[in-house]
Amino acid sequence: MTGLTRREAVGLGLVGAAAPTLTALAQPRPASLERPGSLIGFASMIQDFRADPRFREMLLNQADIITPMNDLKWAQLRPKRDAFDFVDADEAIAFARANGKRVHGHALVWHDALPGWTRAIVSRSEAERELERHIETVLARYKGKVESWDVVNEVIAHDPRPDAPMRQGFWLSRLGPGYVETAFRLASRADPAARLVINDYDLEDPSPRTANRRRILLGMLRDLKAKGLPVHAVGMQAHLYGEREIDRKGLEAFVGELDRMGVDLMITELDVIDWQLPAKPDERDAAAAKLVATLLDAVSVTKPPQAIISWGISDRSSWISEVFKRQDGLANRPLPFDAEFREKPVWRVIASRRARNGSRS
The CB density around residue 173, as the number of other CB atoms within 10 Å, is 13
User: CB within 8 A of 261, min separation 6: which ones?
Assistant: 218, 221, 222, 225
Least separation in angstroms between CB 69 and ligand G3I: 5
Q: CB-wise, 73 or 344, nearer to ligand G3I? A: 73
Least separation in angstroms between CB 229 and ligand G3I: 22
Task: Name the one range near ligand G3I by CB under 6 A: 23-31, 67-75, 92-100, 257-265.
Answer: 67-75
Does residue number 300 form part of the binding site for ligand G3I (CB under 6 A)?
no
Q: CB-wise, 70 or 306, nearer to ligand G3I? A: 70
8 A C-beta contact, residue 113 and residue 72:
no
Least separation in angstroms between CB 308 and ligand G3I: 16
8 A C-beta contact, residue 148 and residue 232:
yes
Q: CB-wise, 269 or 285, nearer to ligand G3I? A: 269
CA dihedral for 64, 285, 201, 107, sign (positive or negative): negative
Angle at 74 between CA 68 and CA 79, to 5 degrees: 110
Q: CB-wise, 46 or 216, nearer to ligand G3I? A: 46
Does residue number 73 form part of the binding site for ligand G3I (CB under 6 A)?
yes
Selected from 113, 261, 330, 351, the binder of ligand G3I by CB under 6 A is 113
Helix 53-62 and helix 87-98: axis angle, to 10°?
A: 40
How would you classify the pairing of strands 102-110 and 148-153? parallel
8 A C-beta contact, residue 236 and residue 271:
no
Does residue number 332 form part of the binding site for ligand G3I (CB under 6 A)?
no
Give the contact letters, 212-251, x = binds to ligand G3I (CB under 6 A), - = no: -------------------------x--------------
User: CB within 8 A of 120, min separation 6: which ones?
Assistant: none
What is the four-CA torsion angle of 58, 237, 168, 129, rounded to 10 degrees? 60
Q: CB-wise, 273 or 349, nearer to ligand G3I? A: 273
Does residue number 156 form part of the binding site for ligand G3I (CB under 6 A)?
no
Residues 125-154 close enough to bind ligand G3I by CB under 6 A: 153
Does residue number 69 form part of the binding site for ligand G3I (CB under 6 A)?
yes
Q: CB-wise, 142 or 354, nearer to ligand G3I? A: 142
Least separation in angstroms between CB 28 and ligand G3I: 40
User: CB within 8 A of 147, min separation 6: which ones?
Assistant: 102, 103, 104, 194, 195
Q: CB-wise, 47 or 361, nearer to ligand G3I? A: 47
**How many residues bind ligand G3I, per CB under 6 A?**
11
Residues 251-280 close enough to bind ligand G3I by CB under 6 A: 269
Burial class (CB in 10 A: 0-12, 13-18, 19+), 234: buried
The backbone torsions φ and ψ at residue 63, rounded to the nearest 5 degrees and listed phi first, read: -100, 135
Binding site for ligand G3I (CB under 6 A): 45, 47, 69-70, 73, 112-113, 153, 237, 269, 319
